């Protein structure tokens, strides 16, 4: 995400005290009530094979939260005790962003990004764990990188398997959302793999980022965050979605407008106290899809908190939140 470093994200959000006028909203649902440790940014959530849930996020050395029931959340420290040395190639504090958690081939896979504010000198890394719990991760280094000569930004990873192949969506600002194929054995980008273009905005700064790709029925759905995050109650983040019959696109919204031309159906926007909804991911548990995201709480000094809503699918195949 084109943002300040993770610790600064949380600090800036908490310090943002500008007033917001709350209002009732009949279009966008509130997140489900949760308790305990609610502070989070860019959440990725998964139900563990051992039972219970874990959420990883921007902040700390990939901040961790755990829950037995998806309602009460506890602070579980960080994914790593110390930043891997190579992270310092991309920022001075070894600060990672926007993780993505998945399970395949008997292991948990944690993808994440390291970068600095306002640059696409960035990298996506990967770690694996037998349990998915904090403190059990082994880092395997860089998956994919970008430099200032590239037209994309290698941050905000999101994994999906499609037709027996493994893909990673990524991207923030610059030219928007991209996708590259990974080697399923190593979890890293295939050498020489083409970089596909999935979504962008028509005007600079091309404010679309944080992809999540989900298969439902015969379509692949691309969820992305539009506009500005990381400014507490001044954030304008919102979540939009498009779909395609191919994982690499082209993606269009329900009107047929391509996401490469700024299209996208609005799925969730800020309302009332829930400002700047975005940084989303999708997870499935007990036969139900859920949308996880952060919002800035206008009734708590703009503190970023965890939002969870059920994701439903209409007869026309398009998703909505409940």
What domains can you pick out in the chain, each with its CATH number?
Answer: 6-17+38-314 (2.115.10.20)
So what's the pLDDT on residue 158? Answer: 98
d(CA 173, CA 151) in angstroms, rounded, equals 10
pLDDT digits (tens, 9 = 90+) for 249-299: 999 999 999 999 999 999 999 999 999 999 999 999 999 999 999 999 999
Asked about 42 being catalytic, the answer comes back as yes
What pLDDT score was predicted for residue 117? 87
Q: How far is CA 257 from CA 43, 200, 225, in A?
A: 29, 12, 17
Residue 156 is a catalytic residue: no
> What's the pLDDT score for residue 12?
39
pLDDT of residue 18: 35
On the 0-12 / 13-18 / 19+ scale of CB atoms within 10 A, 202 is: exposed
Q: What is the structure's pLDDT at 239? A: 98
165: alpha, beta or left, given left = phi > 0 and alpha = psi -120 to 50? beta
Low-confidence spans in the chain with pLDDT less than 50:
1-26
**pTM recorded for the entire structure:** 0.92
From 42, 95, 156, 265, active-site residue:
42
Cα–Cα distance for residue pair 127/142, rounded to 1 Å: 10
| Residue for token pair 């306002």 | 118
- The residue from 181, 209, 253, 265 that is catalytic is 209
Give the per-residue pLDDT at 13: 39
Q: Is 216 left (phi over 0), alpha (psi -120 to 50) or beta?
A: beta
Strand-strand pairing, 35-36 and 72-78: parallel
CA distances from 234 to 21, 24, 196 (A): 12, 18, 32
**pLDDT value at position 168?**
98
Q: What is the pLDDT of residue 232?
A: 96
What pLDDT, on a 0 to 100 scale, did the predictor assign at position 115? 96
- What's the pLDDT at 167? 98
Instruction: Write down the pLDDT at residue 27.
Output: 84
In three-state secondary structure terms, 206 is: coil
Q: CA–CA separation, 148 vs 98, rounded Å? A: 20
The pLDDT, as a whole number, for residue 292 is 98
38: left (phi over 0), alpha (psi -120 to 50) or beta: alpha
Name the burial class of residue 34, with classes exposed (0-12), middle (13-18) and buried (19+) by CB atoms within 10 angstroms of its CB. Answer: middle
Instruction: Classify 18 as helix, strand or coil.
Output: coil
């Amino acid at each position: 995400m084109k943002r300040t470093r993770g610790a600064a994200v949380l600090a800036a959000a908490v310090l943002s005290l500008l007033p917001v006028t709350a209002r009732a909203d009949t279009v966008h649902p509130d997140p489900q009530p949760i308790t305990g440790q609610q502070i989070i940014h860019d959440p990725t959530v998964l139900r563990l094979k051992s039972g219970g849930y874990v959420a990883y996020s921007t902040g700390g050395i990939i901040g961790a939260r755990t829950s037995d029931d998806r309602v009460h959340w506890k602070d579980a420290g960080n994914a790593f005790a110390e930043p891997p040395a190579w992270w310092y190639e991309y920022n001075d504090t070894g600060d990672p962003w926007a993780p993505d958690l998945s399970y395949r081939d008997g292991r948990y896979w944690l993808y994440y990004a390291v970068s600095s504010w306002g640059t696409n000198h960035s990298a996506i890394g990967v770690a694996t764990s037998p349990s998915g719990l904090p403190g059990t991760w082994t880092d395997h280094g860089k998956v994919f990188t970008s430099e200032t000569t590239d037209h994309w930004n290698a941050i905000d990873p999101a994994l999906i398997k499609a037709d027996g192949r493994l893909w990673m969506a990524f991207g923030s600002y610059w030219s928007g959302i991209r996708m590259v194929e990974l080697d399923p054995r190593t979890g890293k980008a295939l050498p020489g793999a083409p970089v596909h273009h999935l979504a962008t905005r028509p005007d600079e700064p091309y404010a679309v980022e944080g992809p999540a790709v989900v298969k439902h029925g015969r379509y692949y759905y691309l969820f992305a965050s539009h506009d500005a995050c990381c400014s507490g109650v001044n954030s304008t983040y919102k979540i939009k979605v498009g779909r395609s019959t191919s994982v690499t696109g082209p993606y269009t919204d329900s009107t047929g407008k391509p996401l490469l031309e700024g299209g996208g159906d609005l799925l969730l926007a800020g309302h009332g106290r829930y400002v700047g909804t975005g940084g989303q991911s999708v997870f499935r548990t007990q036969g139900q899809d859920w949308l996880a995201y952060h919002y800035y709480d206008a009734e708590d000094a703009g503190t970023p908190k965890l939002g969870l809503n059920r994701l439903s699918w209409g007869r026309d195949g398009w998703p909505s939140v409940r």
